[in-house]
Structure formats: structure tokens, C-alpha cells
Amino acid sequence: MRSRSDSSGVSPNLLTTPSIYQQIKWVADPVGYMENAVLKYPDLFSTKIIDSRGNFVFVNHPQTIQEILTNDRKKYTAPGELNEILQPLLGDYSTIMLDGSSHRKRRQLVMPSFHGDRMKSYSELIVNLAEKVMNQFPVNQPFLARDAMQEISMQVILESVFGLHEGERCQQIKHLMEQMSSLFRSPFSSSFLFFTVLQKDLGSWSPWGKFLRDRSRLDELLYAEIGERRANPNPARIDILELLISVKDEDGEGLSDKELRDELMTLLFAGHETTATAMSWGLYWAHYLPETGEKILKELDGLGNSPDPMNVFRLPYLTAFCNETLRIYPVAMLTFPRVAQEDTEILGHRIESGTVVVGCMYLVHQREDLYPQPKKFRPERFIERQFSPYEFMPFGGGVRRCLGEALAIFEMKLVLATILSRYQLQLVDSQPEIPRRRGVTLAPAKGVKMIVTQKRVRQEPQLAMTSSKK
Ligand code: HEM
């Protein structure tokens, strides 16, 4: 691999403020940071946002992103080592840390678990979990939608990864995942990911010390589950762990325990944090702009009683609403980094071999030429016009395109449809939510505080979806 960590050569449209200031600003206020930069350089700019790395070129010009992401096994590569920021959580053998042929093989292995028909088998679980979580909130008692959605998404991912969402070990895994995620919930605490100098074990009371201890307890539980499952293979199971344990490469070698652990961590964390945020934004918009929630309900009414989950999935307004939710504040702001493998040119700028480039979803989705009045939440724009995969790209693209996209969208639609049709909710705060850094993602700053005012009094239809059970 020819990636170069100190691409100090030619950096087009370089932001010249001191790099430490840029790093702090990027961690503390990524939206303000990107919006300022784009005022100066509309399509692309270079900046140093990670202390151990050279300049990154942020690109938000759709055709250029397409050129990069459709060539990211040759002219560009997607080196795992540049995702080092996630290494303490995911380990060295996660899909995200691999590259080249081992990356391709791992994706081929995991991908079928998140596709098409497999999703249908999760629908009953998703609907039941949404109801279970919402039923625990007494009427008129405030709760944070972000936390409630995390409870749902965590159980869904535990079921798809391990085939279990109950039981002692599962509860412990959930608890530790919550603890570890909470370390990165504010911009300040997210600094632990960005500034390696802060990653010091100063005992179990220090944030990083606690993180390391939680991680090793979680590892023990994961290795215990892996050990038991290896000892008792069951080909009838359809969960991802069973699949990963059973696969062998051309030499008859399977994945090691360490490789399994890292992949499980990846799916568990990538799979629940992001989806929970997307769903909480969805609940926010449906109540902040109640006419949008009403339109979803009207569309659901048209499906009659006990709608088929796949029919819910295909509803045009619900689809447009979810797209607009993922457009306006994309949960992931950037693609993983790509590295130029030859001297090239983008938008008239020279790009040297070794230059690191990232696609900036946040800025693409804020382009006035694609999305007039981009700050306005307007699902209809997705009905009036089709966008290319590089104009609307909440899940990235190319060789690292999100593996969990189908699950995330399916879950988001079913959860929103279930909650909107069964519960009447209100936002507690009339002030708008703004996006704030949460680890490497953007999430609602105040967590979307809501109350349940009543169970919806409509007799019919209530979402009582059935599914082809596993
Ligand atoms: C709304 C929810 C989600 C969003 C917005 C999201 C977004 C993304 C983005 C932007 C990327 C990087 C793509 C690139 O570099 O081009 C990515 C990669 C990835 N996502 Fe997601 N994701 C979501 C849900 C999920 C779920 C549910 C899972 C797993 C069950 C998942 C697993 C992954 C994995 C494993 C990768 C790395 C792929 C690779 O390195 O090859 N994501 N995701």
C-alpha cells in the first residue's frame, strides 16, 4: 500500500489557520467548521483534522466524489490504517481496518446477512421492540428519544449478530456497550478518539481507564459466546456469528477468535449508534413539523389493517421523509478516507500520489444547487426529483459503502411507522434541535426530549405487522 501519512506536498485550497485550532474546531463544532470552510472554497478544501496525519482533502462536488469512489480499488485505495481512530474500539481485524483482498473477502462474507429477504425476518422483532420500549414510558413523563431509539437499535443488532436479545450474557453485553458508547457522547468526550495523547490509563476512575476496563470485560463476554458457539455449531441458526464461525477460505481456514471478536464489535457498534441517531432525528422532524408526521400517518392508513412490512418499506412519502432526515443532518459526515495512488487532477487542482481525500456528505447534502433552501426540511424534494448516489449519499459509496444500509433503512421505517401509529408524542422543548458531534457522528444535541401524551385513539389501523418468522 502506498498511502502516505504526511501528504505535505500539494494541498489544494489549504485552510491556513493553525492546525491545532482546526483540530479543536473540527472536534468541538464540526458543522460550523465545514460551513465556514465551504464559504471560502465551495467544492473542495484541504485541512489537517487528525493530529497524527497530514492534510485531508474534503470534497463535496458530486461528480468528483463519483470519480473517486468508483475508482477506489485502483486509482484510489481505501486503506484500513487510515481508520486508526476506531482501532481502540474495533481492533485490527475489523472490516473497517482491513483493505485490499482481505477487505473484499470479509465484505462478501458479512454482506448476505444484511440483505433483502433476511430483513423481513427481523420485522416482527423490530415492531415488538419498538412497542416494548415505548410502553415503558408513563404518560407525560419526559424521556430522551435518542436513548429510547438506542435501546431498540441495540436489541435489533444483538438479535441479528448473535440471534439473541435476552438472557444474562446479552444483558451484560448491552450494559457494557452502553457504557462504552457514552464515553463519546459529547464533543468534549469525543476528544479521546481524536487526540491520542488523551488515551492514558489513569486508573478505573479516569475516562480512558474505564473505557479499557469495560472493553476487556466486553471482550471476555464475546470470547465466551464465541467459544460456546464453536463448541455447539447449529447450521439451522441464521445469525451472523453462526455464519462467520462456519465460513472457511480456500485453504480450509476459518476466522480466528480475534478476527471474530473484532468483526462482532464492528457490527455491534456501527450497527446501533448510527441507526439510533437516524431514528431519533426522524421522531424529531415528525413532531417539530407535525404536518410531516400527519402525512406519514395518512399514507399508513392507506395500507389497511396489519400492513405487510414490505409495503410499509415501499411507502413513497415515508421513504422521502427518511431520505430527507438523512440528508439534512447525515449521521456520518464523511466517507472513510481514500488515498490517491497516482498523481492526478481534480477540479483543476493537482493531486499528488499519496494524498488523502474524503467525501463530505454533510456539505454535499447542503448544496444549494442540488437542494434549494438546504436548511429547510422538505421530504417532497425526494418525490419531485431523483438524486444520484453521489448527490444523496448518507451511506457513503464505493468499496466501503455501508454494509448495514438495508437494515438501517428497514429498521428506521418500521420503527417510525410503529411509533407514529401507536403513540401520540410531543416535543418537550419548542426550540429546534441542532446537530452536535457524538464520536465520529452527528446527533441531536439535546437528545430530543419528548413525552407520550396518549396512545393513539384511532381504532384502525394500528400497525400490527406480521412477518415470515425465521
Ligand atoms: C443510519 C444508519 C447508518 C449510517 C448513516 C451509516 C453510514 C455509513 C458510512 C457513511 C460508512 C462509510 C462509507 C464509505 O466510506 O464510503 C459506513 C460504513 C460501514 N457501516 Fe454503516 N451506517 C449506518 C448503519 C449501519 C449498520 C446498521 C451497520 C451494521 C449492521 C453498519 C455497518 C457498517 C460497516 C461494517 C461499515 C464499514 C464498511 C467497510 O469498511 O467496508 N452501518 N456506514
pLDDT (tens digit per residue) in 193-206: 777 777 788 888 88
Please check the confidence at residue 399 and state whether its pLDDT lies above 60: yes
What was the pLDDT predicted at 458?
A: 45
Residue in the block written with cell 438501517: 408
* pLDDT grade for 372, boundaries at 50, 70 and 90: very high
**DSSP letter assigned to residue 138:** P
Average pLDDT (323-341) is: 97
What was the pLDDT predicted at 314?
A: 95
What was the pLDDT predicted at 236?
A: 84
Q: What DSSP line would sit under 187-241, residue for residue? A: HHHHHHHH-GGG-----TTSHHHHHHHHHHHHHHHHHHHHHHHHHS--TT--SHH
What was the pLDDT predicted at 363?
A: 98
Pick the more confident residue, 456 or 350. 350
* pLDDT grade for 165, boundaries at 50, 70 and 90: low
Average pLDDT (30-36) is: 96
Strands in 13-155 per DSSP E: 44-47, 56-59, 76-77, 143-144
pLDDT (tens digit per residue) in 409-447: 999 999 999 999 999 999 999 999 999 999 889 999 999
Alpha-carbon distance of 37 to 58, in angstroms, equals 10
Q: Is the peptide bond before 461 cis (omega within 30 degrees of 0)?
A: yes
Alpha-carbon distance of 85 to 99, in angstroms, equals 16
Please check the confidence at residue 52 and state whether its pLDDT lies above 70: no
What was the pLDDT predicted at 464?
A: 53
Q: In this predicted structure, which of 71-80, 182-191, 273-282, 414-423 has the lowest mean pLDDT?
A: 182-191
What was the pLDDT predicted at 175?
A: 93
- Dihedral angle at the C-alpha atoms of 34, 35, 37, 40, nearest 10 degrees? 160
Is residue 323 in contact with ligand 1, taking CB distance under 6 Å? no
Please check the confidence at residue 174 and state whether its pLDDT lies above 50: yes
Alpha-carbon distance of 408 to 327, in angstroms, equals 15
Is residue 293 in contact with ligand 1, taking CB distance under 6 Å? no
Residue nearest atom 38 in ligand 1 by C-alpha distance: 400
Residue nearest atom 31 in ligand 1 by C-alpha distance: 404
Task: State pTM to two decimals.
Answer: 0.92
Q: Which residues does 424 contact at the CB level (< 8 Å), separation at least 6?
A: 452, 453, 454, 455, 456
Alpha-carbon distance of 134 to 247, in angstroms, equals 38
Is residue 272 in contact with ligand 1, taking CB distance under 6 Å? no
Is residue 309 in contact with ligand 1, taking CB distance under 6 Å? no
Q: In this predicted structure, which of 190-194, 288-292, 356-360 has the lowest mean pLDDT?
A: 190-194
Q: Residue 351 burial (CB < 10 Å; 0-12/13-18/19+)?
A: buried
% pLDDT > 90, the chain:
69
What was the pLDDT predicted at 460?
A: 47
Pick the more confident residue, 212 or 236. 212
What was the pLDDT predicted at 84?
A: 87
Strand order in the sheet with 449-455: 143-144, 449-455, 423-427
Is residue 402 in contact with ligand 1, taking CB distance under 6 Å? yes
Is residue 336 in contact with ligand 1, taking CB distance under 6 Å? yes
pLDDT (tens digit per residue) in 251-304: 778 899 999 999 999 999 998 999 999 999 999 999 999 999 999 999 999 998
Q: CA dist 38 to 7, 42, 60, 98, 252, Å?
A: 21, 5, 9, 32, 51
Please check the confidence at residue 166 and state whether its pLDDT lies above 80: no
Please check the confidence at residue 392 and state whether its pLDDT lies above 70: yes
What was the pLDDT predicted at 462?
A: 52
Asked if residue 360 lies in contact with residue 422, where contact means CB atoms within 8 angstroms, the answer is no
Angle (nearest 5°) at CA 360 between 354 and 362 = 165
Is residue 240 in contact with ligand 1, taking CB distance under 6 Å? no
What was the pLDDT predicted at 235?
A: 85
Q: CA dist 187 to 212, 390, 410, Å?
A: 20, 28, 29
* pLDDT grade for 239, boundaries at 50, 70 and 90: confident
Average pLDDT (382-393) is: 98
What was the pLDDT predicted at 8?
A: 46
Please check the confidence at residue 110 and state whether its pLDDT lies above 50: yes
* C-alpha 167 to ligand 1 mean position (Å): 28
Alpha-carbon distance of 250 to 462, in angstroms, equals 50
What was the pLDDT predicted at 252?
A: 79
* C-alpha 270 to ligand 1 mean position (Å): 6
pLDDT (tens digit per residue) in 443-466: 999 999 999 998 775 444 455 554
Letter for the amino acid at 94? S
Q: CA dist 67 to 227, 277, 346, 359, 390, Å?
A: 44, 30, 9, 11, 10
Asked if residue 242 lies in contact with residue 258, where contact means CB atoms within 8 angstroms, the answer is no
3-state secondary structure of 423: strand
Letter for the amino acid at 214? D
What was the pLDDT predicted at 2?
A: 36
Pick the more confident residue, 7 or 284. 284
What was the pLDDT predicted at 465?
A: 54
Categorise residue 140: left if φ over 0, alpha if ψ from -120 to 50, beta otherwise: left
What Rg do the C-alpha atoms of the chain give, in angstroms?
A: 22
What was the pLDDT predicted at 3?
A: 37
Q: Residue 334 burial (CB < 10 Å; 0-12/13-18/19+)?
A: buried
- Dihedral angle at the C-alpha atoms of 234, 236, 240, 242, nearest 10 degrees? 10
Is residue 83 in contact with ligand 1, taking CB distance under 6 Å? no
* C-alpha 430 to ligand 1 mean position (Å): 32
* C-alpha 78 to ligand 1 mean position (Å): 14
